[in-house]
A and B are shown apart, each in its own frame.
Chain A
């Protein structure tokens, strides 16, 4: 796979796991197209995603439907699959644990840091994926593989089953696709 494709794939998943944003939500079809082209054996989740796009055309209803699921899944209150690596890998089930520090230190060693206006914690699933997109874009293959093995894979192993089994439209399908791509 070309580096630019790898970067696009990481970015595609990052954008989905960030808070729903019209720029992304209204281009869901294009992300589906990318996954269909680049990731094998994902017929079932792709079909579900396409169906979702048929039911909900780009626009307010589509984004509100995603909010309806994103909030309880990742964001507030019941938080069915907390999107922070620290929750799964730091031992106390809280944010900003040892895994957050480790991830942040990795970003720093690669010359990146969380900007002042960052709206998420460093170990948020979307931020880790965004970081990998940047490494792929910059051709930092060794760093990428190192981060993937040390941080992303252990995190995905824990969080993806939760998202997948939560049966929330879009998110469970995307989790399945990401699982196919990253965890084989």
Chain B
């Protein structure tokens, strides 16, 4: 009767609890303790993380459970609202499909065989492998890639401490060409648009009403309600196009449109000469560059009638300076997309819309206000939270993507982001040197980066692949170690600076205790991993309370106040435009050494001769039977992050391929037909959506679908994974290239 001992011992031998295997969760308690634990209803103010826009939010909590997420009613920038994704955060929090324990792979990569382990086992496994790679190949052979977020600083701290220069964000797959353009023109990327006061807005593909950022949406809506004209250049009739005038431009020709606008503005004297003279340099070279870029020429390139280009330009310029061309969000369309973004910025400079209502402005964090005596008193900058740390080892090799090296093309790649597409290339080709370990934090290369199959192929050559996420993502599925992060509703993060025309800092804080007790916040995961790796000195803070207290101390704002309100802005400060009262007032962008904005960029010219001023590249157009393949965001999903979130999956479980009705008829395709999309060696099945709302030479799908991890049960295998069809090219500013793929379609 062995079993009598085995089970009996557990039942009767250890006091009131059961100590056997995973048992022992239930303990005896007295009623007094229980009564003390009763929790009343409360509202906790925090910051949303259902996308990277970081809107303020309010969570209603009853009996320790989040019952609703709303906007923060005290925040005028969002008018107290969150979007559909923001309110769906509750269903992410309580999703049974989240990862609950650290896991280590037990089968071949991609077979989905794992065992659950303790955190200590997971850390030890990672630390041992990292040490091996460091010894065999050097610390630079370990790459780090994450989605930009306040907490990914802790992840990057590991790279810094071991001396790997190879840190990357997801930005190359999204707004990086815009970032490059801003840095090369203004000297920094922290520039924003004052949509709400604009009288005319032109957007090149930016789809405000589907790629939602709540305060920006509110701004554009306010402008439109006040009678502003909204012009949307897009091969597809997007929701934003539906709210304004749709200009169905030929793909990859937007730069021609903007060069022609400049040509007209110069020829007809429709630009702000004083502004150009006082605040910019290199305009003469721009005049030269656009002198033959006539509306007639642009009509041939863009497919937009010259009369329309002239009409838009004149009407737009008439609203000077309270009008803007939007610089875009997900922008890596062509290899040299940054030149199109630069041209957009130059048009804005010609409008003199810098630091005036309805134009562009330097985000007014407390640091930016300091040189302005009448503004400096409104806010004091926050500080660092890490505490003392030893000097970081100097990387012995340069980055694999050459980012940030002056005088070379790498200068176009923002160092904070990097050309993430280089990681799989360096794994596969071992050039400029081999990458052997890849640590991934809240990023999903398989779906977010181009050429999914090449990414997976690269995984197979790695000695170590670690993913930290909330779900068993497509990348986690192939990983050696999977670390379960808790959600944004269960953790603190460093202070978030969301300043606009006035300073604004926000807190992300736990709204409820951990739902799954063995998940952890990123700060703790990387602090503990750091300790295991012997680099604990780089994390010399006890906990996030201490970290945040340190950050807030120099600002004079109390931590308790932040916890109570969720955000802080100076109550009595008015929106600050540097040129609001005097159009000749000093208004240099911050960090711009010369104080002038660069229409001509010496830095670019030095790196790539002949490119200091935007130069038009004539890209091929689709031939007979081919279509340009473009993709975009949808209002109820975020990139590759939300397709398995219960409520959002229910709202939109799959996507389809938009094809123009005339083109579809030629191919014998009807709405709802099953199709195969072919791009070079890759194929993807899908369903056709036949519509008038797209150019006949273009097809479109929403991004982030067609998931390959069975661990994402709701999203698995549903719809088209656009990135399976797009080759992994690296653009001039390190960007992926999303809109240069031509596809063929056939009915099945």
Contacts and interface: CB of A to CB of B under 8 A. Distances in A.
Interface of A: 4, 7-8, 11-12, 14-15, 18-21, 23-24, 27, 30-31, 33-34, 63-64, 67-68, 71-72, 75-79, 82, 84, 87, 92-97, 101, 107-108, 111-115, 117-121, 126-127, 130-131, 133-134, 137
Contacts of B97: 76-79
A27 B4 CA distance: 12
Given A68-B106, A96-B94, A112-B29, A11 B115 contact: no
Nearest to B30: A111
A94 B95 contact: yes
A96 B487 CA distance: 15
B267 interface: no
Interface in B1-52: 2-4, 6-8, 10-12, 16-18, 20-31, 33-34
Contacts of A93: 96, 646
Given A11-B7, A27-B6, A71-B116, 10 more contacts: A11-B10, A34-B7, A75-B101, A79-B96, A79-B713, A97-B94, A108-B34, A111-B29, A117-B25, A134-B26
Closest 8 CB pairs of A and B: A77-B711, A18-B22, A21-B21, A77-B472, A118-B25, A67-B115, A94-B94, A30-B3
Contacts of B21: 15, 18-19, 21, 23-24
B63 interface: yes
B515 A96 contact: yes
B208 interface: no
A95 B515 contact: yes
Contacts of A79: 96-97, 713
Contacts of B575: none
B362 interface: no
B710 A127 contact: no
Contact of A72 (B4, B91, B710): B710
B393 interface: no
B22 A113 contact: no
A75 B518 contact: no
A4 B518 CA distance: 32
Contacts of B711: 72, 76-78
A134 B25 contact: no
B113 A115 contact: no
B380 interface: no
Nearest to B112: A72
A76 B477 CA distance: 11
26 contacts: A8-B7, A8-B8, A11-B11, A11-B20, A14-B23, A19-B22, A23-B21, A64-B113, A72-B710, A76-B114, A76-B711, A77-B709, A77-B710, A77-B712, A78-B713, A78-B716, A94-B91, A96-B65, A101-B63, A101-B65, A112-B26, A113-B26, A113-B27, A114-B26, A118-B517, A127-B25
B8 A15 contact: no
A33 B646 CA distance: 42
Nearest to B472: A77
Contacts, number: 176
B341 to A, nearest CB: 39
Interface-centre pick from A34, A72, A76 (highest chain B CB count, 10 A): A76
A67 B116 contact: yes
Nearest to A112: B26
A135 to B, nearest CB: 10
B100 interface: yes
Contacts of B12: 137
B92 to A, nearest CB: 10
Contacts of A96: 65, 94, 515
Contacts of B24: 115
B423 interface: no
Nearest to B2: A30
A118 B27 CA distance: 9
Contacts of B114: 67-68, 71, 76
Given A18-B21, A113-B26, A12 B472 contact: no
A113 B106 contact: no
Contacts of B30: 111
Nearest to B10: A11
Nearest to A35: B3
B362 to A, nearest CB: 43
Contact of A24 (B20, B27, B33, B107): B20
A115 B27 CA distance: 6
A111 B11 contact: no
A126 B23 CA distance: 8
A126 to B, nearest CB: 7
B103 interface: yes
A93 B146 CA distance: 31
B27 A133 contact: no
B630 to A, nearest CB: 31
A113 B34 contact: yes
A120 B3 CA distance: 26
Given A19-B116, A33-B3, A82 B22 contact: no
Contacts of A11: 7, 10-11, 18, 20, 23
B471 interface: yes
B99 interface: yes
Contacts of A76: 97-101, 103, 114, 472, 711
A28 to B, nearest CB: 11
B110 to A, nearest CB: 14
Contacts of B33: 113
Nearest to B19: A23
